[in-house]
Amino acid sequence: MKTPILIYNKNERWGILTLVMLNLVSFLISFTFSSPDYQFDEQKLLAFQESVNSQPSQKTSSPIDSLYTFNPNTASYESLLALGFSQRVAKNIIKYRSKGGRFYNAQSVRKIYGMDSVFFEKIASFIDIPQQVFSTKYPQKRKAKQVSIPLKSFPFDPNTATQAQLLSLGFSKRLAQNIINYRSKGGHFYKPESLKKIYGMTDEFYAAISSNIRIKKQGISAKPKGSSLDKSPKSDKPIHQVWPKGKKLAINTATVEDWDKLPGIGRYYAKNIVRLRERLGGFYAVRQVAEAYRLPDSTFQKIVPFLQVDPSKIKKFNPQTADFKTINRHPYITYEQTKQIMRAQKGIHLRAKDDFLVVKIFTEEELERVLPYFVFE
């Protein structure tokens, strides 16, 4: 009996089935991913180009074209952006003002973190800060509230006067309370001018009451002879020492205690002056003392005759070899100027004054101010 030709074994049947499945999958793939014929439509392209050309161009003006005079103490965030400030610098300005910071001149804007020196040169001439708002270097004490009741005139001792007596003299509640708090912490008034240092006291109000101030001197009670108490008698309160007239104060070596003896300089101003001297590396001119934090110009003018400077005492550094921290912590050098100096160290050599002017790190005025602290080798 002959074997039929179309009878396949199991393996042959699986092979045929597999081949059919592969052909079917290939067909489906080619049908699915076949790309349709693309017909180029020139009219649609021309219509698209015409619609683009018809739209108004949104050409942005460069920052220098949109500049106008502005006050950095009042300009809004949007105004700063419109002037060309970056978002980062504009936010830093707003944040600085929100913490009580103030700009007193155009150069103070330059010290804002992130300010580019090239951009600052473009906007510097447009910065307008009203001088009448900032008549002195630092804000004056807040004026006391005017009293609605008339001032009474009678002698009083600020060391013993009660709060009721101070109020009847025309002191505001806040000012009277400040005096009481000062005395409760051990404070004592040794002369009428000491009242000026109380927070809230204005020059006008002090002038109105100064003629009625009577401060009793602390006397020493008599003791029997031979008593140990009559030796080296001491008062309850220390007597404030005064700097001798005609004697000069070496401002580069004077201690906080020495400064405290000058007229009008208390412990607070003395610490601020010494702190400024340490940051600078010393004073090369007497006028630098006036830059101390919150030191009134009237007080500075009083102590000028006592001051003497020895420029050889200042600490200098080489701008070519100094590190970033040493340069940046100097009060006369901004963060951006520090970065420029560090870049110049890798390129040209900063060996003389003219080298700084070539790379435009400082203006001539700024360079003259900081130059005494540089040493070139």
CATH number at residue 97: 1.10.150
Domain count, the chain: 4
**Considering 312, 345, 363, which residue would you say is the last residue of a domain?**
312
Q: How many CB atoms lie within 10 A of CB 227?
A: 9
What is the predicted pLDDT for the residue at 41? 60
Give tens-digit pLDDT for 76-96.
Answer: 998 888 888 899 999 999 999
Note whether 304 and 336 are same-domain residues: no
> CA 80, CA 91: separation in Å to the nearest integer?
9
Query: Residue 1 corresponds to which tokens in the numbers above?
Result: 């009996």
Amino acid at position 44, single letter: K
Q: CATH number of the domain that 257 lies in? A: 1.10.150.310
Note whether 303 and 333 are same-domain residues: no
Q: Is residue 237 part of a domain?
A: no
Give tens-digit pLDDT for 148-189.
Answer: 444 567 888 999 999 888 888 889 888 999 999 888 888 888
- φ, ψ at 88 (rounded to 5°): -65, -45
**% the chain with pLDDT above 70:** 76
> CA 261, CA 330: separation in Å to the nearest integer?
28
pLDDT band at residue 218 under the 50/70/90 scheme? low
249 DSSP 8-state letter: E
156 DSSP 8-state letter: B
Domain containing 98 equals 63-126
Sign of the torsion formed by the C-alpha atoms of 206, 209, 211 and 214: negative
Burial class of residue 72 (count of CB atoms within 10 Å of its CB; 0-12, 13-18, 19+): buried
Q: Average pLDDT, stretch 41-62? A: 57
> CA 241, CA 290: separation in Å to the nearest integer?
23
Q: Is residue 118 part of a domain?
A: yes
Query: Residue 188 corresponds to which tokens in the numbers above?
Result: 């004592």
Answer yes or no: is pLDDT of 291 > 90.
yes
Note whether 144 and 206 are same-domain residues: yes
